[in-house]
Amino acid sequence: MQMQNLTTSHQEPPQSQETESLVQRLAGPSSGKAGLAKDQTEINRIIADVSKGSKFYENEKKKDRELTERINKVLKTRDEVVKGVDIRKVEANVDRLLAEMESQRDLTQTIVHVDMDAFYASVELLSNPELAGKPFGVGRGVLTTASYEARKYGVRSGMPGFIAKRLCPDLIFVQNHFSKYMDMSNRIMAIFKRYDPNMLPAGCDEGYLNITAYCEEHSISAEDCVREMRRIVFEETKLTVSAGIAPNKMLAKICSDRNKPNGQFHLPFDRKSIVAFMHDLSIRKVPGIGRVNERLLESIGIKTCADIFTHRVVIALMDKQFGLHFLLRTHLGIASNEVQPIQREERKSIGAERTFPPLDDRDKLLQMLEHIASELESDMSRNGWMGKTVTLKYKLDTYQVFTRAKSLTRYVSSKQELFSIGRDLFVAEGHVKVRLIGLRVTRLKDLRAPSPAGIKRFFESANSSPRKRQKLGSEGMRDEIYENDEQEKQHMDAMPGFYEHEEAMHHVNAVEESEDDQRGMVAEKSRERPRPPVSAPARPLTSLVKLEDVPRKISPPKPKPLGRERSKSDVGQRSKDPYFDVPNGKQAQVCPICSRTLVTDNQGLNAHVDFCLSRSAIQEARSNGGGTSADKSEHTASAKPPFGPTLNGWDFLMAQKETNPRTKDKKRK
């Protein structure tokens, strides 16, 4: 490969009123939905023309311009990183990595991705058979889905009603009925679980199954098994489902879209067929690559999965921007085949939000926020959650999305607390005109998790789990911190930025949620949170450095002054000091150290436990250190009740360090 092939000069996209990328962006994230016309040029032009002059249009134009600037920086970086590089050496390293990945290909599992056809529209059709054969959309301000008859005109989910009406003048609008969708979803999932009890729901209308064991047990082929499954779904619900059969979840997801609606596609389980299948596949068809990453990849010449190999040197040199492992695995058609339901400990956030016509009446907005807080309290109470961080999300009438968060020292779940925090965050923003508002709680505590026996439970970090708090941010913010191998693997299974907040998550053409948003909301209520169709792949390959091997600085908490007396000002600051009890929410609790029964809350109990431990440890240390009996009696007499500021474990260690003769000697030296 010649150097000039890598550094071909790029022309900056024109900054006119309507760039090609802007027109494509205005088409929305659902432009690849099944049933749409292959050539959507005229449809996209109509959408752009109708959108002109709106705040949505201006916001999309701004985002398109920002992405163009980002692409220009990426191209500039590309031109710089390839200078003076031994291309053959990089190619050889990547080829070795490809060979290692190939050696890990697993063709032993039969994975199926099932996807209901136009789910909301199909459910509405059951209630109103007169809609059969007619173009109709579900939703008012923005469509949550559209019938296949409407899709022929370019109508799709996430599209404003006035644009849909322009594309299809005879379009019929049908109101959403989410309770019906949830009931039907539960019936469908129950059928799927007959074939795989450990299936992974990926929303209210789709999921992944591993039917390997079922096929072996019943001596049936994968195709016959899926055909039977689809037949039973139709017989029991009168709804159709499409399916993809493949060796892993990524391929199964892609295959399920091949013969929609009401069809299935079986990809042969051999390397040659899989590589050929991926060769000419559009990069946008790959789960985890949305509109933004599609443009980024196209900017360096990657439009199909075959182009990944052609540009493997640039991808390797710009791993941070593009994700080398993810793209190489995509090129080979290798992904995770692990199918299991989402565990409770994987839950990292819970929230509720509402979209509505632009509103600037603060009183009405606060009433809506109070209603959201009430709904959120109900969900948290019903499912056994509390949290320490409350995030307010709001979307301006200009379609800009903002989040404001407040972290607490205690867990909250009540409507009063959620609303109070949300109200304070919202009022601080001043006078704003918004079209969406919501609350989300993170840093969760599972009230249904079995408590460790004895004193150990008082030393566990908040929100700990077997996955070590994989995600600390809200779903809207998608902040990811990879703290262990599992997270590092998961990160490799998607392009950088895939877990960040994307506008596709909340397509904002009009005044209701898009179909994907509503699916997420329904799945949220069923506690089966949608996630990317690819999960943790095989073990990280050669060039990765494990995060746990990287030394980290851990700043200890700042020690509190010893012997601080409780003043009147302290009493006034009770709610701010974690060592004071909180007046509200008290209950009878037994101290595991002194066995006293205390009427307090968890925070007060923790303070009391700290006090008991510190008192015992200090007395023992003084005894071992040769302290006088007068010293001991003085300390015992001055011990404060368990509801004031106490000496916790860290304070004690710091105090011991300061009074230790060896430590003093080292300081002198």
Average pLDDT over residues 297-310: 96
Q: How far is Cα 410 from Cα 579, in angstroms, rounded to an integer?
A: 11
Q: What is the pLDDT of residue 34?
A: 74
Confidence class for position 494, pLDDT limits 50, 70, 90: low
CB-based contact 406:384 (threshold 8 Å): no
Are 66 and 178 found together in one domain?
no
pLDDT over 70 (residue 446): yes
Q: What is the pLDDT of residue 586?
A: 58
pLDDT over 50 (residue 125): yes
Q: Which of 467, 502, 532 is the last residue of a domain?
A: 532
Of 112-116, 219-223, 300-304, 492-496, least confident by mean pLDDT is 492-496
Are 240 and 389 found together in one domain?
no
pLDDT per residue as tens digits for the range 188-211: 999 999 999 999 999 899 999 999
pLDDT per residue as tens digits for the range 32-73: 677 776 677 888 888 888 888 888 888 888 999 999 999 999
Confidence class for position 495, pLDDT limits 50, 70, 90: low
Are 278 and 369 found together in one domain?
no
Q: How far is Cα 410 from Cα 575, in angstroms, rounded to an integer?
A: 10
Query: Strands 241-246 and 264-266, how do they pair?
Result: parallel
State pTM to two decimals.
0.66
Are 317 and 361 found together in one domain?
no
Are 298 and 174 found together in one domain?
no
CB-based contact 245:267 (threshold 8 Å): yes
Q: Which class for 284: exposed (0-12), middle (13-18), buried (19 or more C-beta within 10 A)?
A: middle
Domain CATH for 228: 3.30.70.270
Residue 596, in any domain of the structure: no
pLDDT per residue as tens digits for the range 529-539: 333 333 333 33
- Pick 588 or 477 by higher pLDDT: 588
Residues 6 or more apart in contact with residue 546 via CB below 8 angstroms: 485, 488, 540
pLDDT over 60 (residue 610): yes
Are 246 and 293 found together in one domain?
no
Q: What is the pLDDT of residue 160?
A: 82
Residue 200, in any domain of the structure: yes
Q: Which helix (H) or strand (E) holds 654?
A: helix 649-659
Q: How far is Cα 571 from Cα 92, in angstroms, rounded to an integer?
A: 69
> What average pLDDT does the structure give for the chain?
75
Of 206, 123, 209, 128, the closest CA to residue 172 belongs to 128
Question: Among this protein's residues, is 488 annotated catalytic?
Answer: no
Are 233 and 100 found together in one domain?
no
CB-based contact 588:608 (threshold 8 Å): no
Phi (first) and psi of residue 262, to 5 degrees: 55, 50
Confidence class for position 442, pLDDT limits 50, 70, 90: very high
CB-based contact 233:191 (threshold 8 Å): yes
Which one of the listed residues 206, 294, 377, 524 is annotated catalytic? 206
Q: What is the pLDDT of residue 120?
A: 94
- Pick 83 or 468 by higher pLDDT: 83
Are 201 and 315 found together in one domain?
no
pLDDT over 50 (residue 543): no
- Pick 203 or 663 by higher pLDDT: 203
Q: Which helix (H) or strand (E) holds 20?
A: helix 20-26
Are 516 and 386 found together in one domain?
yes
- Pick 402 or 638 by higher pLDDT: 402
pLDDT per residue as tens digits for the range 235-262: 999 999 999 999 999 999 999 999 999 9
Long-range contacts from 380-384, C-beta under 8 angstroms, 24+ separation: 380/350, 380/413, 380/441, 381/413, 383/350, 383/527, 384/446, 384/447, 384/448
pLDDT over 60 (residue 216): yes
Q: How far is Cα 522 from Cα 518, in angstroms, rounded to an integer?
A: 6
Are 260 and 303 found together in one domain?
no
Are 32 and 94 found together in one domain?
no
609 token code pair: 């436990």
CB atoms within 10 A of CB 398: 15
pLDDT over 70 (residue 19): yes
Helix 602-624 × helix 649-659 angle, to 10°: 20
Cis peptide before 261 (omega within 30 of 0): yes
Q: What is the pLDDT of residue 356?
A: 85
Residue 94, in any domain of the structure: yes
Q: What is the pLDDT of residue 457?
A: 52
pLDDT over 60 (residue 474): no
Report the domain count for the chain.
4
Q: How far is CA 173 from CA 44, 140, 274, 354, 513, in A?
A: 21, 6, 42, 20, 15
Q: How far is Cα 176 from Cα 535, in angstroms, rounded to an integer?
A: 32
Average pLDDT over residues 339-348: 86
Q: Which helix (H) or strand (E) holds 355?
A: strand 349-359
CB-based contact 203:531 (threshold 8 Å): no
CB-based contact 353:372 (threshold 8 Å): yes
Q: What is the pLDDT of residue 293?
A: 92
DSSP label at 422?
Answer: H
Are 359 and 468 found together in one domain?
yes
Q: Which class for 304: exposed (0-12), middle (13-18), buried (19 or more C-beta within 10 A)?
A: middle
Q: What is the pLDDT of residue 459?
A: 52
Of 35, 349, 347, 335, the closest CA to residue 208 belongs to 335
Q: What is the pLDDT of residue 156?
A: 86
Ordered DSSP codes for 426-439? HHTT-S--EEEEEE
Average pLDDT over residues 417-423: 96
Query: Helices then strands (H, E): number in the chain?
Result: 27, 14
Residue-range definition of the domain harbouring residue 429: 350-532
Residue 26, in any domain of the structure: yes
Residues 6 or more apart in contact with residue 381 via CB below 8 angstroms: 413
Q: Which of 234, 269, 304 is the last residue of a domain?
A: 269
pLDDT over 90 (residue 524): no
Domain CATH for 325: 1.10.150.810
Give the amino acid at 222.
A
Residue linked to tokens 């904002």: 508
DSSP label at 441?
Answer: E
518 token code pair: 């509503």
CB-based contact 608:615 (threshold 8 Å): no
Domain CATH for 388: 3.30.1490.100
Q: What is the pLDDT of residue 47?
A: 85
Residue 44, in any domain of the structure: yes
Q: Which of 506, 532, 558 is the last residue of a domain?
A: 532
CB atoms within 10 A of CB 433: 12
pLDDT over 50 (residue 632): no
CB-based contact 607:642 (threshold 8 Å): yes
